[in-house]
Structure 1
Amino acid sequence: MIPVAIQLFTLREACQKDMKQTLERVKAIGFQGVELAGYGNLTVEEVKATLDALDLTVAGSHVPLTDLINRLDDVIKEQKLLGNTQVVCPFILPEDRTHEFYQDLPSVLQSIQLELQSHGMDLLYHHHDFELAPYSDEENVLEYLLRTVDGLKLELDVYWIQKAEEDPIAWINKYKDQLALVHLKDMTKDERATFAPLGTGRTDLSAILNAATPAYWIVEQDQTDGDPFEAIQTSMTFLKNEGVI
């Protein structure tokens, strides 16, 4: 059985207000792990203690690229404390989404990856839809990064693949050897095509669950119309009905 984690960016407001209570609620809903995006209102040491007390594991950690570049030693110390081996580059700032920036990015990521690997960790890349725009006539930005950075792992986000009008299953099959984590998301059936709790939208999640074998399934909902805790409860109910957990 592949364990199920929650990307805590989904609950970012609750994490900033009370990280400990948020983690307790995540555990009560049935999640087995978390993917971190900062530490909320706690220190990294307090997060670790809370996770241990709740028997929650760290599936991965989203770390801004600026931190990976400028404070990698501190990042590595924190991830070792957390027991995390999967460090994720989560986002490229809008002003950096240029051909020139992407041209230099592989060497930057390669340097980070080599240092992480020397400490028993891997660098993962989490994409949105903008990386699925062309980099050259032959490949898009994400394909280019996955080809040119030796050892780079993929955190596949099925919503953003679908948003870019590509096929999640095709990506899973093409990059099965680099696929480390999968962000499970659903897309609303209406014209907004925005984020939805799992099982309530148009995404063929059953096919995705049957096709991929990541280290963790990670539930994320970037935005919710109502209470995000209710949304992730709906998602967990769907996964239980699918026999995932």
Structure 2
Amino acid sequence: MAQLPIALQLFTLRNETKEDFLGTLKKVKELGYDGVEFAGFGGYEASELKAFLEELDLKPFSSHVGIELLEDNADEIIAYHKELGVETMVIPYLVPERRTSKDDYIKLAESLNLYGKKVKEAGMTLCYHNHDFEYEKYDGEYGLDLIFSQTDAELVQVELDTYWAEYAGVSAVDYAAKYKGRLPLAHIKDMADTSDRTFAEVGEGTLDIKGIVAAVQEAGAKRLIVEQDVCQRPPLESVEISIRNLKEILG
């Protein structure tokens, strides 16, 4: 299989982007990443940021956008992403009060279908990104499966966070296979060999990164996204270790 482009989820460098947004993007490119997944835009206009990314040859593959932001101002947010050239918009998280029951997940699915249609009409794709809590079962079905069973696969696709699946006790390899053809993006993360199973640089932990990458690629992933929610080292050092190890693992 051909090696997929590798992006960095910029949440990993949230403190660095707060201090110097454009300078941090430049460092990400210098470390060898092909693109980024945004978690905010540093207050820049889409046209300004697009020009900077083009100059760097750093691709705006995807962006995490809270569903509350879409509920408040979907048209403007979608237009910004389209102008920037983002391929995929991703719902990254559910606040606790929006995930207390099966009905909550069904209501969410209705909203995702609505926004997925708007995003598709703008020429992009909408994904949903998991944590561990979506693997709680309701009437024998994972909350995450409720989302995907109640949404149109043409409108709402899967960004599988492989770390959080494994953290919840679910095989990321098996779960990727379940959504073959509906999984364009995957978060590639590693798990430390510690009692709290915290985050580790890719290749420095306990997860079978090579097997996981093969599984998500077989499922149709087009982009691999490195993320480390919490770093024990300086974050720029961590993301450098991750991409170096990931490229070595993938040959």
Q: TM-score, normalised by structure 2?
A: 0.93
Aligned to 1:64: 66
1:136 — aligned with what? 139
By how many angstroms is 1:242 displaced? Answer: 2.0
Give the AA of the match of 1:95. Answer: E
How far residue 145 of structure 1 moved from its aligned partner, in angstroms, is 0.6
Q: Is 1:237 aligned to residue 240 of structure 2?
A: no
**What residue number does 1:170 align with?**
174
Amino acid at match of 2:22: K
Structure-to-structure mapping, 1:1-245, within 5 angstroms: 1-99=3-101, 100-137=103-140, 139-151=141-153, 152-213=156-217, 214-243=221-250
Once residues 103 and 175 of structure 1 are traced to their aligned partners in structure 2, the CA distance between those partners, rounded to angstroms, is: 19
**Cα distance, 1:192 vs structure 2:** 1.6
* Residue ranges of structure 1 left out of the alignment (5+ in a row): none
Cα distance in 2 for partners of 1:18, 1:168 equals: 35
Question: CA offsets per residue over residues 122-143 of structure 1, 9 Å max, x none?
Answer: 1100010001101222x11100
Count of residue correspondences: 243
Q: What is the RMSD computed on CA atoms of the aligned residues? A: 1.2
Matched-pair contact (CA < 8 Å) for 1:15–1:41: no
Partner SS, residue 250 of structure 2: coil
Letter in 2 for 1:232: V
Task: Note the C-alpha offset of 1:41.
Answer: 4.9
Residue aligned with 2:138, SS: coil
Matches of 1:85 and 1:136, distance apart in 2: 35
Q: Deviations over 1:125-179 (max 9, x none)?
A: 0010001101222x11100111110021000001100110110000111111111
**For residues 250 and 131 of structure 2, what CA distance do their matches in structure 1 show?**
28
What is the CA–CA distance in structure 2 between the aligned matches of 1:87 and 1:40, rounded to whole Å? Answer: 17
**Identity across matched positions, percent:** 37
Note the C-alpha offset of 1:47: 2.1
- Paired with 2:125 and 2:91, the residues of 1 have a C-alpha distance of 11
- The TM-score with structure 1 as length reference comes to 0.95
**Take 2:27 and 2:19, find their aligned partners in 1: how far apart are those partners?**
13
Query: 2:190–2:202: 8 Å Cα contact kept in structure 1?
Result: yes
Tell me how far apart the structure 2 counterparts of residues 13 and 41 of structure 1 sit (CA, whole Å).
Answer: 15
Give the Cα separation in 1 of the matches to 2:215 and 2:104: 33
Instruction: Give distance in 1, aligned partners of 2:247 and 2:115.
Output: 37
Indicate conservation of the 8 Å contact 1:15/1:39, yes or no: no
User: Deviating runs (4+, > 4 A) in structure 1?
Assistant: none
